[in-house]
């Protein structure tokens, strides 16, 4: 299966050198051949995709370039993003049979642009996890090596791209769930500025943290998808416009800040070596690389594992067996709630709901949640100050490459994977993960990613630097 980019597909569709029907057929063949072993997809929309591809092929014949910008481009959709009429399970028994009653805004925008949803992908239950091991419907294997996890919670989406089942997939990122699996699977993943992309139609996890974003083989492809899905949405009052934040211009030469103190412990030695090599590449490309201090960044993990469970406990209160989803009867209304939620939620979800309930409860609210929210404000101020001195911040995306199934059974060990990604969600800035290289483990060559972080509204700056440091170098 050839690695197509959106640009080459669009070019070839317009020129007629290939057709959406041919391309979708190839991708469906790949899924047929490989997905039994990998398990990236929860459901494949083969018939719908073929029909849509046929219609797109005819449209190109008649109208050529005068067609929507993503016409005929196949994509995979993380299964916590509502696609009307299709089961949107969020990887949970609670929503195993729930059929979405409307399209998420991102789905509606991709539909208008002519993109074809090929299927929905596996994920950690309710987006809680860093390995996709928490899915109620089985694990997804890393396409690079089946003993290793693809990362999470958007593991299915990252795997779908890495295995060449689709050129692009949508994921969601609350604490790193697009960037970390992209890092583990050797592909590009992007979390937009908070508010840049509408959350309407996303199964809510942490409403002040969640963003939907693209995973693809190139920064150019990620930018192309972002352009279509981003933008103010009356259905999501937290969405922003181009005017919300001051301009973040692109530059010939960027100053890249590296918070070196954060890497002194806990980062895999090979990943660190590869990251340092990338910094050399930045210098060789004419950019400045400087050390910066981000003392509050390191506290982000503690704050995240207070704020996120708090928001989770609130967002998942809606699953009560009354209006949709699993419904287990009880003698009383209350018994029905308690039985439904006991049966519908997996272990990690229950853990986080209880944690959130604890930190929001009377007597603990200020000490935990209050402090964590105060830290978020301080972190934003710290970042704003650092961004007066540097244009972009660089870190490894994750402290390690992919790990083996079952290796991180201790919750805290799993949570530690998020150390470089959660401060981004806590503060709302955009971040991009590009492949940095591979490390050798036993006989496996495991990818690791490099993360770039920009100021609020700096999404385009990340696309610029990412394109120059990844796309242009991997041709």
Partner 1 sequence: MMLHIMKEHEIAHLASLARIKLESDEVAELQNDIAAIIGYVGTIASLTADVKSTKHVGARYNVFRDDVVTNEPGAYTERLLKAAPETEKGYVVVKKILDTTDS
User: Is 191 an active-site residue?
Assistant: no
Assess 69 for contact with partner 1 (CB under 8 A): no
Residue 236, phi then psi, degrees to nearest 5: -135, 100
Q: Which of 48, 54, 147, 339 binds partner 1 (CB under 8 A)?
A: 339
Assess 338 for contact with partner 1 (CB under 8 A): yes
Shortest Å distance, C-beta 300 to partner 1: 10
Are 353 and 313 in contact, with CB atoms under 8 Å apart? yes
Shortest Å distance, C-beta 134 to partner 1: 14
The 8-class DSSP code of residue 432 comes to E
Shortest Å distance, C-beta 69 to partner 1: 28
Assess 376 for contact with partner 1 (CB under 8 A): yes
How many CB atoms neighbour CB 65 within 10 A? 11
Q: Which of 350, 405, 407, 468 binds partner 1 (CB under 8 A)?
A: 350
Assess 432 for contact with partner 1 (CB under 8 A): no
User: Is 78 an active-site residue?
Assistant: yes
Q: How far apart are CA 290 and CA 370, in angstroms?
A: 34
Assess 366 for contact with partner 1 (CB under 8 A): yes
| CB closer to partner 1, 98 vs 148 | 98
Taking CA atoms, 70 is separated from 162, 211, 216, 232, in Å, by: 20, 21, 14, 20
Q: How far apart are CA 116 and CA 111, in angstroms?
A: 7
Of 57-65, 122-130, 295-303, 458-466, the segment contacting partner 1 by CB under 8 A is: 295-303
Q: Which of 3, 11, 361, 440 binds partner 1 (CB under 8 A)?
A: 361
Are 185 and 144 in contact, with CB atoms under 8 Å apart? yes
Assess 306 for contact with partner 1 (CB under 8 A): yes
Residue 248, phi then psi, degrees to nearest 5: -120, 90
Interstrand relation of 168-173 and 392-396 (parallel, antiparallel or unpaired): unpaired
Shortest Å distance, C-beta 427 to partner 1: 9
User: Is 177 an active-site residue?
Assistant: yes
Are 112 and 71 in contact, with CB atoms under 8 Å apart? no
Assess 342 for contact with partner 1 (CB under 8 A): yes
Q: How far apart are CA 411 and CA 434, in angstroms?
A: 27
Which tokens belong to 391? Answer: 């244009």
| CB closer to partner 1, 284 vs 412 | 412
Burial class (CB within 10 angstroms; exposed 0-12, middle 13-18, buried 19+) of 453: buried
Assess 231 for contact with partner 1 (CB under 8 A): no
Assess 370 for contact with partner 1 (CB under 8 A): yes
Q: How far apart are CA 280 and CA 273, in angstroms?
A: 11
Shortest Å distance, C-beta 344 to partner 1: 9
Q: How far apart are CA 193 and CA 428, in angstroms?
A: 6
- Three-state DSSP at 191 gives strand
Catalytic annotation, pick one of 153, 154, 218, 313: 153
Shortest Å distance, C-beta 339 to partner 1: 6
Assess 367 for contact with partner 1 (CB under 8 A): yes
Binders in 175-214 for partner 1, by CB under 8 A: 194-195, 208
Q: Which among 135, 451, 419, 408 is positioned nearest to 304, based on CA atoms? A: 419
Contacts with partner 1 by CB under 8 A lie at 98-99, 101-102, 194-195, 208, 234, 237-238, 240, 244-245, 299, 302-303, 305-306, 313, 317, 320-325, 327, 330, 332-334, 336-339, 341-342, 345, 347, 350-351, 353-355, 357-359, 361, 366-368, 370-378, 411-412, 415, 428
Active site residues: 78, 153, 177
């Amino acid at each position: 299966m050839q690695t197509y980019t959106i640009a080459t597909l669009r070019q070839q569709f317009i020129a007629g050198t290939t057709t959406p029907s041919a391309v979708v057929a190839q991708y469906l063949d790949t899924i047929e051949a490989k997905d039994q072993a990998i398990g990236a997809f929860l459901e494949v929309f083969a018939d719908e995709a073929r029909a849509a591809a046929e219609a797109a092929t005819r449209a190109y014949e008649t109208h050529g370039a005068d067609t929507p910008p993503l016409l005929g481009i196949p994509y995979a959709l993380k299964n916590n993003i509502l696609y009307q009429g299709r089961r949107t399970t969020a990887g949970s028994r609670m929503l195993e049979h729930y059929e979405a009653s409307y399209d998420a805004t991102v789905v509606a925008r991709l539909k208008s642009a002519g993109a074809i949803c090929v299927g929905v992908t596996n994920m950690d239950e309710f987006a809680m996890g860093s390995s996709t091991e928490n899915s109620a419907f089985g694990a997804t294997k890393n396409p690079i090596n089946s003993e290793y996890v693809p990362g999470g919670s958007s593991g299915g989406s990252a795997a779908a791209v890495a295995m060449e089942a689709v050129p692009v997939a949508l994921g969601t990122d609350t604490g790193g769930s697009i960037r970390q699996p992209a890092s583990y699977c050797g592909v590009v993943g992007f979390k937009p500025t908070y508010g840049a992309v509408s959350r309407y139609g996303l199964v809510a996890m942490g409403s002040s943290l969640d963003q939907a974003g693209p995973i693809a083989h190139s920064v150019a492809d990620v930018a192309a998808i972002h352009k279509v899905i981003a933008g103010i949405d009356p259905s999501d009052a937290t969405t922003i416009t181009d005017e919300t934040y001051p301009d973040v211009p692109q530059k010939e030469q960027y100053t890249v800040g590296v918070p070196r103190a954060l890497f002194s412990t806990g980062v895999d030695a090979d990943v660190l070596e590869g990251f340092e090599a990338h910094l050399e590449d930045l210098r060789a490309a004419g950019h400045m690389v400087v050390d910066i201090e981000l003392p509050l960044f390191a506290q982000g993990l503690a704050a995240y594992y207070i704020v996120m469970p708090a928001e989770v406990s609130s967002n998942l209160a809606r699953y009560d067996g009354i209006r949709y989803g699993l419904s287990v009867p009880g003698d009383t209304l209350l018994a029905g709630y308690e039985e439904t939620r006991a049966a519908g939620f997996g272990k990690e979800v229950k853990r986080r709901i209880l944690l959130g309930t604890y930190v929001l409860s009377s007597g603990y609210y200020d000490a935990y949640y209050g402090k964590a929210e105060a830290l978020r404000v301080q972190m934003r101020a710290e970042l704003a100050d650092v961004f007066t001195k540097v244009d972009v911040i660089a870190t490894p995306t994750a402290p390690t490459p992919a790990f083996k199934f079952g290796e991180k059974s201790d919750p805290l060990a799993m949570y530690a994977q998020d150390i470089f990604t959660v401060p981004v969600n806590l503060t709302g800035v955009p971040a991009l993960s590009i492949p940095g290289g591979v490390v050798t483990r036993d006989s496996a060559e495991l990818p690791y990613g490099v993360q770039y972080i920009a100021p609020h509204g700096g999404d385009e700056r990340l696309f610029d630097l990412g394109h120059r440091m990844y796309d242009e170098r991997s041709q």
